[in-house]
Amino acid sequence: MRWLTLLGIAILLLAGWSTIDFVRAMLRGDGQQTRAANHNSRVATSSPPAAPGHDEPAEIPVAPASESDRSVSERRQDRLRELAAIVERDPYNERALRDMLALLRESEDWDAIAETCRRLLILAPDDSEVAALRERALRNTGDGRALLDALAAETAARPTDVAVWIRYGSALIDAGRVHDAIDAFTKAIELEPELRNQLLATRGAAYARLKIWDSAAGDLEQSSLSKSDAESALTLAQAYAELSRWNEAAPLLDRWRAARPRDVRFLNLAAEIAWRRHIRGDGPEHADEARRLWIASLDLAPGQSEVRQRLLDSGGLPLKP
């Protein structure tokens, strides 16, 4: 029998049938299916017989490629309708709501996901996974007001959950409520000192958005991220510049200009500090330094109209537009 099996495999390979298909047929358990598959393979790999009265081979009908996908979608919709009917009869059927949510996640219907999560949280208010999914859904639908309401409710329900306070602060920043975001980040720092390093940098950036430069510098100085993160370093250097702490800004900018030589933001800030020192009367060499840095910045990014104007106002040589 072994040699017959090997012979069968060889014949199927010659006919264009893969060994995987053969194994699957064998696992199904009957030789009749194997022979049928072998016959179908020979039909697929050879020219079909010509239809009577025609020179061309008869055309074999082929099902649309998306038929199976459409069937899956239709089955999902049927099941969702069934579950919706169950929930309509019994709004407190948590199992049906969770089954609905699983199907909706596959289709990424964010409006429906948000509403299903809202209903589930009435039944299971401590389910942080569902709460986080609702937040994600609300972000994707762009419903900022509902997102803030949901997060505010979460902070009330789980006031010691630092992750909720961080997400709430981020959403408040996106909504332009920076003062409230600072309060949320402060609460997160109090709850989780181990995250202090990252959260101080985040709160420092929020202070900078409000131009509260002394608080911004104070937070960022306490965070080590200004030594490893370009955005934090740039914000701290900006705070130093606005506070006229130029001697502290200079080494920070020098270090990051060396690390990121094509980042014109560090060049432009260094030029601005040099020009301010020139205006204060620290020496004409600072004016030359500012012009040199602005020219270097325009060489890297010629489209900076504001930098070009700063150079021209400083009395620098006119540049080609």
Spell out the per-residue pLDDT of the chain, length 321, in tens.
Answer: 444 433 443 333 333 433 333 333 333 334 444 333 444 444 344 444 444 433 443 444 444 545 555 677 788 888 888 998 998 899 889 999 999 899 898 888 899 998 999 899 888 888 888 888 988 898 888 888 899 999 998 899 889 999 999 999 999 999 999 999 999 999 999 999 999 999 999 999 999 999 999 999 999 999 999 899 999 999 999 999 999 999 999 999 999 999 999 999 999 999 999 999 999 999 889 999 999 999 999 999 999 999 999 999 998 765 554
Dihedrals phi, psi of 181, to nearest 5 degrees: -65, -40
**Whole-number Cα distances in Å, 62 to 21, 65, 93:** 20, 8, 44
For position 139, what pLDDT does the model report?
Answer: 87
Same fold, 79-153 and 159-244: yes
CATH domain 79-153 topology: 1.25.40
Q: Does the 159-244 domain belong in CATH 3.40.50.300?
A: no
**How do the domains of the chain map onto residue ranges?**
79-153, 159-244, 261-321
For residues 294 and 316, what is the distance between their CA atoms, to the nearest angstrom?
Answer: 9
- Indicate the SS3 state at residue 139: helix
What is the reported pLDDT for 165? 95
Amino acid 70: pLDDT: 61
Provide the pLDDT for residue 28.
36
Q: Is the dihedral of CA 188, 190, 193, 198 positive or negative?
A: positive
| Helix or strand holding residue 257 (H, E) | helix 246-259
